[in-house]
């Protein structure tokens, strides 16, 4: 794989100024400059966001109209239904809105579509059942902006719909009572990258302001809002950063019994962005992937101790089942890879591959080979699958050029979902590869952006601890990457059956340990005594009560000076 190391420009004078003004180390100051955060107010908000950094919710389109309608429905005891989604964003959105409305005296019902039977978003069959139950007001969360026909159908059955969403709208907007989505053209809200649960947060904030409630009535839900925001991989900047930074503090002392139980059962001692991304989110998402999303919702809604313990146990089981299926599909897929490696895209299919898991495996394959990949699972003649792409290749656009072979598809530049008949699979693969061959994928390099060149003597535990001010890490706000040059290899070996790389590096009398995940093959390319340049993220490794600095390797190459 071609990797290109690129460095941010340095501004020593500005770095010195920020370092002195905010009493932070120069590496941290340099990273803030790299992120374009140089104004005093911007830096203060980024490092220490506060509750008064939230924007006015009434700047959102249709917000006033929507909350007046919701308040009317509460006061009139109308039947309200929340229509959600089966991922973490949708589950937390539904939980927050339902709990908040219940505290205002409403008794809202909900509908979470079954991923395997209904798919994403609104569907007419569900709406028909919702209408039969006497629903007068339907509020969508984390979905609805593309449901033009379904919203019209709901209207014909006497249901008024308020859409709250964060996805991109199409050319035609649904004919809803109100649409709260900061990505529509009429938007005046200063930030349009909120997760679905972030939009719900603005709704309950607006209702609280309108009803003259105390701030705590909506701020207390920041633990769940933070969970949905980090899990949905939206950019962790601006208002999302305020949500995530303040929300993580609440997650660590959460009063939500289900979330607390899940944290304990998943074995994490401290709740940070990694805990959510790799511990909590996969367990909740596993429910949706396996077709049991409602159990994840019940976990976050319930106040019964025995019930949440049982539900947390089930979530852990679904996650294990998801992992097993993922491993099984990955191993089968890897056996097919050899004959695909010369193609610009890796397009694979297998019988019985669970389509709730193919996206995860596709993501892994794309990461390993740095190529777009699509995995399709067939049940008889019907196939469903997912694809992932690389920067510089718009997979959705590519699919548009070959969609005459597909039954259905959707997604965006970096991720797609599709369904296809078995008889069309080979032709689809040929057409897509022919289209992508014109894009010179092999010439696209994976770029590693390096925040600063560091010396081992300048890296202390205190320096690395201070870098935690940049957390929570996530989309856009990634972990800082440093380059350390001309280090001597003291020891090198592969771990976990050759999968990972363990290496000890020296600069004079300074030593640092490094771990390279999925870099095990490098153990045969280098030997003890080689001088190398490395890039990676600085971490603190704690073992037996002792703390040491560790480098999480992203790449390694031989130094020019040996």
Mean pLDDT score across all residues of the chain: 92
DSSP structural state of residue 473: P
Which strands sit side by side in the sheet containing 406-411, from one edge to the other? 346-351, 373-379, 382-388, 415-421, 406-411
- Percent of the chain with pLDDT strictly greater than 70: 99
Q: Is the pLDDT of residue 466 over 90?
A: yes
The CATH 3.90.1640.30 portion of the chain extends over 57-237
pLDDT band (50, 70, 90) for residue 1: low
Q: Which residues make up the CATH 3.10.310.30 domain(s) of the chain?
A: 341-443
pLDDT digits (tens, 9 = 90+) for 402-412: 878 888 887 77
* Comma-separated ranges of CATH 2.40.50.460 domains in the chain: 3-9+448-558
Pairing of strands 160-164, 178-180: parallel
**Which pair of structure tokens corresponds to residue 356?**
């709730």
Lowest mean pLDDT of 433-442, 478-487, 546-555, name the range: 433-442
Identify the pLDDT of residue 164. Answer: 97
Query: Tell me, what's the pLDDT at 562?
Result: 65
pLDDT for 533 equals: 96
The residue written with tokens 């907007």 in the block is: 173
Tokens read off for 117? 């039977």
pLDDT in tens, 354-392: 888 898 899 999 988 899 999 999 999 999 999 999 988
* Three-class DSSP labels, 296-324: HHHHHHCCCHHHHHHHHHHHHHHHHHHHH
For 11-28, what is the HEC assignment? CHHHHHHHHHHHCCCHHH
At the top level of CATH, the class of 3-9+448-558 is mainly beta
The predicted model gives 515-535 an average pLDDT of 93
Which tens digit of pLDDT belongs to each residue from 227-246?
A: 999 998 889 999 999 999 99
Q: Could you count the other beta carbons within 10 Å of the beta carbon of residue 102? A: 12
Check if CATH label 3.20.20.100 holds for domain 341-443: no
Between residues 2 and 119, the one the model is more confident about: 119
Average pLDDT over residues 294-309: 95
pLDDT of residue 518: 85
Say if pTM beats, i.e. exceeds, 0.85. Answer: yes
Of the listed ranges 166-170, 189-193, 310-314, the one predicted with least confidence: 166-170
The pLDDT value given to residue 374: 95
**CATH 3.40.190.10 corresponds to the domain 57-237:** no
Digit-coded pLDDT (tens) for 2-61: 689 999 998 999 999 999 999 999 999 999 999 999 999 999 999 999 999 999 999 999
Give ∠ CA 423-425-427 in degrees, rounded to 5: 95
User: Taking the CA atoms of the chain, what radius of gyration do you get in angstroms?
Assistant: 25
More confident residue, 476 or 190: 190
pLDDT at position 124: 93
Tens-digit pLDDT profile for residues 201-224 = 999 999 999 999 999 999 999 999
b vs e for 152-171, b when ≥16 Cβ sit within 10 Å of the residue's Cβ? ebbbeeebbbbbbbbeebee
d(CA 68, CA 312): 37
Nearest to 517 by CA among 547, 486, 483, 494: 494
- What's the distance, CA 446 to chain centroid? 20
| Structure confidence by residue, pLDDT tens digits, 284-298 | 999 988 889 999 999
Of all residues in the chain, the percent with pLDDT exceeding 90 is 75
Mean pLDDT of 324-341: 87
If you ran DSSP here, which 8-state letter would residue 133 be given?
A: T
Comparing CA positions, the residue from 3, 85, 1, 2 lying closest to residue 448 is 3
């Amino acid at each position: 794989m071609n990797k290109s190391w690129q460095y941010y420009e340095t501004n020593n004078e500005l770095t010195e100024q920020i370092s002195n003004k905010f009493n932070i180390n120069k590496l941290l100051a340099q990273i803030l400059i790299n992120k374009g955060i140089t104004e005093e107010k911007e830096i203060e908000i980024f490092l220490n966001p506060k509750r008064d950094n939230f924007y006015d919710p009434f700047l959102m389109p249709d917000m006033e109209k929507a909350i007046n309608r919701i308040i009317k429905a509460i006061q009139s005891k109308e039947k309200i239904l929340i229509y959600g989604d089966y991922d973490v964003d949708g589950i937390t959105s539904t939980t927050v809105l339902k709990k908040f409305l219940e505290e205002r005296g409403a008794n809202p019902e909900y509908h979470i579509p079954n991923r395997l039977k209904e798919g994403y978003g609104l569907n007419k069959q569900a709406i028909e059942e919702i209408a039969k139950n006497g629903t007068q007001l339907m509020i969508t969360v984390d979905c609805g902006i593309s449901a033009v026909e379904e919203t019209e159908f709901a209207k014909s059955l006497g249901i008024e719909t308020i859409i709250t969403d964060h996805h991109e709208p199409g050319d035609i907007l649904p004919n809803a009572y109100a649409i709260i989505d900061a990505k529509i053209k009429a938007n005046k809200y200063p930030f349009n990258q909120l997760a679905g649960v972030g939009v719900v947060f603005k709704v309950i904030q607006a209702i609280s302001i309108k009803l003259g409630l105390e701030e705590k009535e909506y701020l207390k839900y920041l633990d769940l809002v933070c969970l949905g925001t980090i899990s949905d991989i939206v950019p962790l900047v601006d208002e999302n950063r305020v949500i995530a930074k303040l929300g993580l503090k609440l997650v660590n002392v959460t009063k939500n019994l289900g979330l607390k139980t899940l944290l304990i059962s998943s074995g994490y001692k401290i709740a940070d962005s990694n805990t959510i991304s790799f511990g909590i989110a996969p367990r909740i998402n596993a429910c949706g992937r396996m077709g049991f999303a409602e159990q994840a919702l019940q976990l976050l809604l319930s106040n019964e101790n025995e019930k949440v313990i049982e539900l947390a146990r089930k979530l852990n089981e679904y996650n294990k089942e998801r992992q097993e299926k993922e491993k099984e599909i990955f191993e089968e897929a890897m056996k097919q890879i050899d004959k695909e490696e010369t193609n610009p895209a890796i397009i694979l299919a297998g019988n019985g591959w669970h389509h709730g898991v193919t996206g995860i495996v596709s993501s892994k394959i794309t990461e390993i080979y740095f190529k777009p990949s699509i995995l399709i699972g067939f049940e008889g003649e019907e196939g469903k699958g997912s694809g992932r792409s690389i920067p510089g290749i718009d997979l959705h656009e590519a699919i548009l050029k070959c969609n005459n072979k597909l039954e259905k598809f959707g997604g965006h530049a970096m991720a797609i979902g599709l369904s296809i008949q078995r008889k069309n699979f080979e032709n689809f693969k040929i057409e897509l590869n022919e289209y992508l061959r014109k894009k010179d994928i092999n010439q696209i390099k994976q770029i590693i952006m390096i925040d600063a060149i560091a010396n081992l003597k300048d890296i202390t535990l205190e320096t690395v601890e201070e870098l935690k001010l940049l957390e929570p890490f996530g989309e856009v706000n990634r972990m800082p990457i440093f380059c350390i040059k001309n280090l001597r290899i003291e020891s090198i070996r592969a771990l976990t059956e050759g999968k990972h790389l363990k290496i000890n590096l020296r600069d004079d009398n300074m030593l640092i340990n490094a771990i390279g995940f999925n870099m095990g093959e490098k153990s045969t390319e280098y030997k003890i005594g080689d001088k190398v340049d490395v890039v990676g993220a600085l971490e603190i490794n704690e073992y037996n009560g002792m703390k040491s600095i560790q480098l999480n390797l992203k790449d390694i190459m031989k130094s020019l000076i040996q």
